[in-house]
Amino acid sequence: MTGRLSLGSIEYTRATVTNSEQTIDPFADNVFANDSDSPTGWDAHEVKRRILAQGAALGFDKLAVTDTDLSRAAPDVLSWLKEGFAGEMGYLERHVDKRLQPSLLEPSTCRIVTARMQYLPADTQPIEVLENSDKAYISRYALGRDYHKVLRRRLARLAEQINLTLADTEPRFAFRAFTDSAPVLEKALGEKSGLGWIGKHTLLLDKDAGSWFFLGEIFTNAPLPIDEVEVEDACGKCSACMTVCPTDAIISPHRLDARRCISYLTIEHKSAIPEEFRKPMGNRIYGCDDCQLFCPWNREAPTTTEPDFAVRNGLDSPRLVDLFALSEDAFLALTEGSAMRRIGYAQWQRNIAIALGNSAGGAEVERVLQAGLGRVNAMVDEHIRWALDQLASS
């Protein structure tokens, strides 16, 4: 099947797709066995089987293969950007051509291996923490080691293993790993390859795995067999994520105004947080999970067994006053190896000041807030004063 769609300067070509099966035999040594089927001397099905098996051995919960045709997602992505929903995340627009056409990011790419890894640590009590205004709520994805590092390293190792296996093929095939920070449209690729469907909250979701998983990809010029799977959208009439969102950021099914999202406000937004969002933020000081916490498909979702994602330094249930009182050096020590370090000390103090303003207050809270005045910058001071005003008027 061949079709073409032009959007501005970007042209999409719909590639021919094929079916494939998957079985796990990571140590089979017959990659080049099926010469008669393959003029280049490699067996595409066997290579794919190895990738899936080696990926599983490296801790990925599911892997799949797709082509690079993102023409179905493109109109929604472009209109989303045009509406300004990306806020200060200028990088999303700057590299939109690469997001929509993966071969611009890595030349000659014709296949993408998609991978997902569960991250929810067992035995954290998210709802209890959210309901305790003296505690700090940190997104469950950030409680352990920085996932960028974990996934990038694992995917790079997988790519390296496959590159070694195929070192002698002609033409030369190459595999290259990407995750998150690269301009890759991860959820759309995940959906295309059958890792799940994009829920109304805009995250990739699976009936068995829920949505508590990260995504990563390997780009390749090797024409591997594609997983042609249409995953059923099982949101149905549910709209729990939209109802519970504290800031009404999911403005319609599958459409998120990032500028309203607490995850964006606490992590991506560098300057003052608009006042209308400060109360709804509650005690969420880094990211937000509400749209996932109340999703019915997450009720039975598996927790992670990955040691890298185990809770570090008691971050699943810390006291706000203890976090706010930390010096910059102590903040850096606490968040070493964590994704949270990226927001820097000023944003950290800003976010916690808001949460303290939403807390039950008391002498200790007021004391740490007063002590914070003049410590970082005028922006943080303004949030501290807002917090003190809230406590005085409550």
Q: List contacts with ligand SF4 (CB under 6 A).
A: 199-201, 205, 235, 238-241, 245-247, 249-250, 256, 261-263, 288, 290-291, 295-297
Cα separation, 33 vs 306, whole angstroms: 35
Cα separation, 346 vs 380, whole angstroms: 7
CA atoms within a 13 Å half-sphere pointing along the CA-CB vector of 64: 24
For ligand B12, which residue of 7, 17, 58, 89 counts as binding (CB under 6 A)?
A: 89
User: Buried b / exposed e across 125-134, counting CB within 10 Å, b at 16+?
Assistant: ebeebbebbb
What residues are paired with 66 via a beta bridge? 112
- Our CB check for ligand B12 shows the closer of 76 and 389 to be 76
Site for ligand B12 in 24-43 (CB under 6 A): none
Q: Which two tokens stand for residue 19?
A: 């079916």
Judged by phi (left if over 0) then psi (alpha if -120 to 50, else beta), residue 234 lies in alpha
Whether the Cβ atoms of residue 283 and residue 320 lie closer than 8 Å to each other:
yes
With CB under 5 to 8 Å by kind, the binding choice for 290 among ligand B12, ligand SF4, none is: ligand SF4
Per residue, the 3-state secondary structure of 164-198, as one string, reads HHCCCCCCCCCEEEECCCCCCCHHHHHHHHCCCEE
- Our CB check for ligand B12 shows the closer of 187 and 312 to be 187
Q: Let me know the angle formed at the C-alpha of 317 by 311 and 321, rounded to the nearest 5 degrees.
A: 125
With CB under 5 to 8 Å by kind, the binding choice for 188 among ligand SF4, ligand B12, none is: ligand B12
With CB under 5 to 8 Å by kind, the binding choice for 74 among ligand SF4, ligand B12, none is: none
With CB under 5 to 8 Å by kind, the binding choice for 235 among ligand SF4, ligand B12, none is: ligand SF4
**CB-closest chain residue to ligand B12:** 287
Phi then psi dihedrals of residue 96, to 5 deg: -65, -35
Contact pattern from residue 149 through residue 188 relative to ligand B12, giving x for each residue in contact according to CB under 6 A and a dash for the rest = ------------------------------xx---xxxxx
The nearest distance, CB 336 to ligand B12, in angstroms, is 20
167 by Cβ neighbours in 10 Å (0-12 / 13-18 / 19+) ranks as exposed
Active-site residue list: 180
- Our CB check for ligand B12 shows the closer of 256 and 365 to be 256
Which residues, other chains included, contact 61 with Cβ-Cβ below 8 Å and sequence gap of 6+? 116, 117, 118, 209, 213, 302
DSSP-derived pairing of the beta strands 284-286 and 137-138: parallel
- Our CB check for ligand B12 shows the closer of 197 and 324 to be 197
Cα separation, 255 vs 166, whole angstroms: 42
Part in contact with ligand B12 (CB under 6 A); list of ranges 8-16, 261-269, 350-358, 368-376: 261-269
With CB under 5 to 8 Å by kind, the binding choice for 63 among ligand B12, ligand SF4, none is: none
- Our CB check for ligand SF4 shows the closer of 71 and 298 to be 298
Contact pattern from residue 65 through residue 84 relative to ligand B12, giving x for each residue in contact according to CB under 6 A and a dash for the rest = --------x--xx--x----
With CB under 5 to 8 Å by kind, the binding choice for 154 among ligand B12, ligand SF4, none is: none
The nearest distance, CB 299 to ligand SF4, in angstroms, is 10
Find out whether the peptide bond into 26 is cis, omega within 30 degrees of 0.
no
Contact pattern from residue 267 through residue 306 relative to ligand B12, giving x for each residue in contact according to CB under 6 A and a dash for the rest = xx------------------xxx-x---------------
- Our CB check for ligand B12 shows the closer of 23 and 237 to be 237
The nearest distance, CB 309 to ligand SF4, in angstroms, is 19
SS3 312: coil
With CB under 5 to 8 Å by kind, the binding choice for 295 among ligand SF4, ligand B12, none is: ligand SF4
Whole-angstrom CA distances from 185 to 96, 215, 371 are 9, 10, 44
Cα separation, 355 vs 357, whole angstroms: 5
- Our CB check for ligand SF4 shows the closer of 210 and 372 to be 210
Cα separation, 382 vs 172, whole angstroms: 58
**120 counts as binding ligand B12 under rule CB under 6 A:** no
- Our CB check for ligand B12 shows the closer of 195 and 388 to be 195
With CB under 5 to 8 Å by kind, the binding choice for 144 among ligand B12, ligand SF4, none is: none
